[in-house]
Each structure stands twice: as C-alpha cells, then as structure tokens.
Structure 1
Amino acid sequence: MTNRDRLLGITVALLWGLNFLAIRAGLDQFPPFFFVALRFLVIAVPVVLFVPRPNVPLRWLLLYGTGFGVLQFLFLFWAMNTGMPTGLASLVLQASAPMTVLLGALLLGERVSRRQMTGIVVAVGGMAVIGWDRFAHASLLPLLLTLCGAFGWALGNIGSRQARPDSPMRLMLWMTVIPPLPMLAVSAVVEGPTAGWSALGSAFDADGVPALVGLVYIALLGTIVGSGLWTGLMSRYPASTVAPFSLLVPVVGIVASWLVLGEQPTVAALCGGVVVVGGCLYGMTRPRVGAGEPTVSLPTPAPARV
C-alpha cells in the first residue's frame, strides 16, 4: 500500500470516528427513529433522481438496506438516546466483525478458520468485560441495544457481499433508499406523527444549528466521502490490507468524545475495548505463509459507516 493510500485509510477512520459526535449532536435535537429516517432521506432523494439502480438481485439490496440501514441505526441511535456513551458506542459497534464471520458460517456454509474463531472468542471476552462494567456502573440496556445494532450491520454485510455489484458505490448509495419509509413509520408510531417534523422545523433556530451541521456531516462526509474513499481502497487492495484501518474508528471516537464531550471511560471499559479490538485484528489478519492455517472465504465486514 502506498503512503498516499495509507493516509486515505487514516482519513476514512477519522471521518467515521468523528461521525459519532455528529450523531450525538443530531440526537440532542431529533427523536432517534426520526433521525435515522432523516439521515438517509437527504441522500435517498437525489440518489433516486440521478443515480442508476445497481444491477443486483432485489433481495440482496433489501437485506443490505434493512440490516445496515434500518436495524443497525435503529438500535444504535436508540442506544445512544438511552445513555450509551458516544465513544463506547463506536467501540461496541465493532462487534459486527465477528458477527459477520459467524453469520457467513451459519447462513452461507462458509468455513471459519481456527485463527478467526480464536479472534471471535477473544472479542467476545472483551465484550463481556465491557458488559460487566456497564452492569456495575450503569444500565446494561444501552449496551445490549448497541450489540443489536452490530448484528444488524452484520446482516447488511451478508446482503452486500451476496449482491456482488458491478459498482459497489452505486449499491451503497441505493442502500440509502431502503430505510426512510420504514423508519418514518416507526417514528410515527413510537414517537408520534408530528414529533420529528416539529423537531426539524425548530432545528432552523440558533439552538438547532449543531444538529443540522451534524446531519450534513453524516450525509456528506461520513457517508459519501468516507464510503467513496473506502470503496476505492477496497477495489485496489486485498480486504485484509484495508480492513484493519476500521479498528482506528473506535480510537478516534473515544478520544473525540473525551475531548469534546468530556466522556471518561472506565479502566475496565478501556481494557475490554483493547481486548475487542485485538481479537478483531487477530481474526482479520492473514497468517504467515506456510503457517498451516486453512484457506477460507468469508464475508469481509465493512467498517462502521455511520
């Protein structure tokens, strides 16, 4: 990998890590389910008008959009709205990586190597440490909701992989068309039919500017720029070379939330996070040539494009 592309990988991690601050700003203004619909709606409208639909089976597009777009962000935004710390959310969401490997084995019949299974066990151990810490110091519900979001992201990874698009960028853009209508329906039932739209109207006051800036950041920098750069890197290098950059996302998220929001994770949570990231990194990297590890073909977890 060239130095230029390494810099691009770090840039993507920065963009996606700071995305969690933008989410936090949006949730201070908008109801969580409405905010999910809104973040995709601002991209979906121009996509439908100007971007040709990718030539992929509809079922895989729907699975990608439902898993990655609906389930991931429904549970993530719900979790953050009920007390999940911003930095910790960026870390726990990385549980989608081992979940993707397991779903590939269960749903697609793909083999899991000993190295990957070891990484999964280590990552689950780290999650257990974080869960124990949350149970001891705060509610466990936000952590469980974030893990449900990670599971939705893993389902979306399966749909994205099975779609086998000729243009990954077009597939990603058309994924944004799936979430707005179901999430608007969920928002109307749970949050009330006018709550989200009232919040959107008041967002144009001075107090709502941070939320609008956060929305623009998520849509343009987090989704279009970040995903565009990532798609380009994935097209030029093996997934095992590019994917480890995603593990910088929670590092950026935790540091940014500490500097901007004053969040101070506990020592136990940080130790658990190190174990999670270490397990994911170990499972994603290839063994040395001649090490005797069986060759497998598994779905590559895309990093958090929040």
Structure 2
Amino acid sequence: MTERRSTLDGLAVSLLLTCCVLWGLNQVATKVALADFPPFTQAALRSAGAALLVLAWARLRGIALFTRDGTLPGGLLAGALFALEFGLIFFGLQFTTASRMVVFIYLAPFVVALGMPFVARSEKLKPVQFVGLAVAFGGVAAAFAEGFGQPSAGERQWLGDACGVGAALVWGATTLSIRSTRLAGAAPEKTLLYQLGLSALLLGMAAPVAHETWPQQVAALSWGALLFQTVIVTFASYLAWFWLVRHYPATRIASFTLLTPISGLVAGALVLNEPLTPRLLLALATVVLGLVLVNRR
C-alpha cells in the first residue's frame, strides 16, 4: 500500500493493538534488565542490535537506505529526539515503577494532537476530541501528584515520573518531526535506522559519562529481556509503527496507542508485583475514556 488513508482500517487496528501489547510489556522488560544492565548501556545495546537487524532486513528486501533523498536533516533530528526519549525512560525506571512509567509516557498523543494542525490542517481536532484529551490529562496529573505525597516506589518516585512525562513530550515531538520533514515520504526502514543508529551512538556516549560499567555477571532473564526489547519491540514493532505513521492519520494512531497503559499496568502487576494505587487506576480509566472521545467519528 502506497496511498495515505484518512481512516483506520482493519489492518491498522490489528497492528496498533499488537504494538500496544508489546509496548506495555516493554517497560516491564526494561525494568527486569535493569537488574544487570545500567540504563544508558541497556538502551544503547538495544538500539545497536535493532539497527543491525534493520540493515539485514533492508538488504534482504532490496531496500536502498543510503541514497541521497534530502532526509538527512530530519533523520538527525528524529534520531536525537529518539535518543533523548529512551534515555529519559531508561533512567526514570530506576526511580518509578514500570506501571507508572507506561501511563506517563502515553501523554505523547497530547503533543501530537496539539501539534498536527500546524503540520496537516486535515488532522485538526474537534471540540469533543479536545475534551477527551483534557479528561485523560486530568487523571494522569492526579497520578503524578501522588509521587509527592504518597510515593509507592520510593522517595524519588517523582523524578522517575517526571522522566516519563518528559519522554512523552519528546516522543510526540518525534512523531511531528517525522510528519513535517522529508522523512514523511521515506521508507519506514530508513526512518527507523536514523533513530536507532544515532541513538545507539548518543546513548553509548552517555554511558561512560554517567560512570556506567559493564556488568560482571548477567542473568539469563536479563539477556532474555534485552533480546525481547531488541528484536520484538525495537525492530519489528517500530517498523510497523513508522509504516502506520506514513500511511494513516498521525493524530488518530497516536491516540489509539493510549491502550498501551492497560497492558503495561497488567504486566507490571503480574510480573513485577507492582502496586496499583487508586490514583494510578483513575489515570488509566481517564486515559481510556480520553481515547474513546478522541477517536469518535
């Protein structure tokens, strides 16, 4: 498919649902691997491994990735934003739970929804959709305030939560940068390679600056969590995501991903035994309600 669709069809919905489940599990996998891999080291390894997979995939399918097509400025911007986003997520998960992180980073659709009218007038939100975004924002704000009064993850929970909010802002900015530059017409593989390659370099440079060292021993569970992040999430699901961004309305697909916190909360509670506080559950409910309102016809 080469044309841009104005609505989400069955294929888009199926891919989005799969991505939502995988991305919810991704925060749990990151938290598990942090037991052995420091945050920036882990993020750099994930990006580097996935970049190699993208190169192999493109070579297998005969996709040209290094032709001059004017995408370099946009690619460098998207790559730098991608590195910042995941640097914030991996660093923040040291101080907050995976369940909380996955809720906060999915504030990204607010950024996309508010910014897309400046990129594509056809994606301007209607009043009821703004109400949906406001409802979701209110619930998330209540959950964030919990980090100052009754933190469930430790005294520095507010710092981890703030990193999640910052990552959401950067993720939204990344989506907008892709749609507003020559990357909008580039192959998904090229868009992803820009981000993976540059983030591997920048995060790898950040690791020694943060005085991170290679772990002496790594448990099999940590290797498995890193492999899951690299192959399934960062390579396969991100390729699907950038293909969706290229062919479907960015505001609607970004808002649809608000379903991700459901799988993230469930995975955090079942796998990591993380607490589900009333405010966090309220945030989840308002996020889902906001999703329904934003995607109303």
Deviation at 1:247, TM superposition (A): 2.5
Tell me the distance in 1 between the aligned counterparts of 2:134 and 2:255.
18
Cross-structure match for 2:166? 148
- Kept after mapping to 1: 8 A contact 2:50/2:196: yes
Cross-structure match for 1:57? 71
Deviation at 1:80, TM superposition (A): 0.6
Residue 14 of structure 1 pairs with residue 21 of structure 2 = yes
- Kept after mapping to 1: 8 A contact 2:129/2:296: no
Cross-structure match for 2:221? 210
Q: Greater CA deviation, 7-16 or 181-190?
A: 7-16
Q: Secondary structure at the match of 1:97?
A: helix
Cross-structure match for 1:177? 197
Deviation at 1:156, TM superposition (A): 0.9
The one-letter amino acid of 1:44's match is A
- Kept after mapping to 1: 8 A contact 2:40/2:204: yes
Cross-structure match for 1:187? 207
Deviation at 1:40, TM superposition (A): 0.5
1:231-250 correspondence runs (5 A): 231=242, 242-243=253-254, 245-250=256-261
Partner deviation per Cα, 1:71-100 (whole Å, 9 max, x = no partner) = 111111111112x11112111111011022
Tell me the distance in 2 between the aligned counterparts of 1:124 and 1:10.
22
Partner deviation per Cα, 1:158-210 (whole Å, 9 max, x = no partner) = 22112212312331233211112221222111124xx1xx22x632xxxx211
Q: List alignment gaps of at least 5 residues for structure 2.
A: 1-7, 152-156
- Kept after mapping to 2: 8 A contact 1:66/1:156: no
Q: TM-score, normalised by structure 2?
A: 0.81
Cross-structure match for 1:271? 282
- Kept after mapping to 2: 8 A contact 1:86/1:257: yes
Q: 1:89 to 1:188 in 2, by over 3 A?
A: same
Deviation at 1:213, TM superposition (A): 0.9
- Kept after mapping to 2: 8 A contact 1:87/1:254: yes
Q: Secondary structure at the match of 1:176?
A: helix
Quick one: which of 71, 82, 90 aligns to 2:102?
A: 90
Q: 1:115 to 1:260 in 2, by over 3 A?
A: same
Cross-structure match for 1:299? none
Q: TM-score, normalised by structure 1?
A: 0.78
- Kept after mapping to 1: 8 A contact 2:103/2:140: no
Q: Secondary structure at the match of 1:225?
A: helix
The one-letter amino acid of 1:202's match is Q
Deviation at 1:12, TM superposition (A): 2.5
Q: Secondary structure at the match of 2:197?
A: coil
Q: Secondary structure at the match of 2:276?
A: coil
Q: 1:3 to 1:142 in 2, by over 3 A?
A: same
Tell me the distance in 2 between the aligned counterparts of 1:140 and 1:272.
16
Q: 1:26 to 1:56 in 2, by over 3 A?
A: farther
Tell me the distance in 2 between the aligned counterparts of 1:255 and 1:63.
34
Q: How many residues are treated as equivalent by the alignment?
A: 274
Q: 1:29 to 1:9 in 2, by over 3 A?
A: same
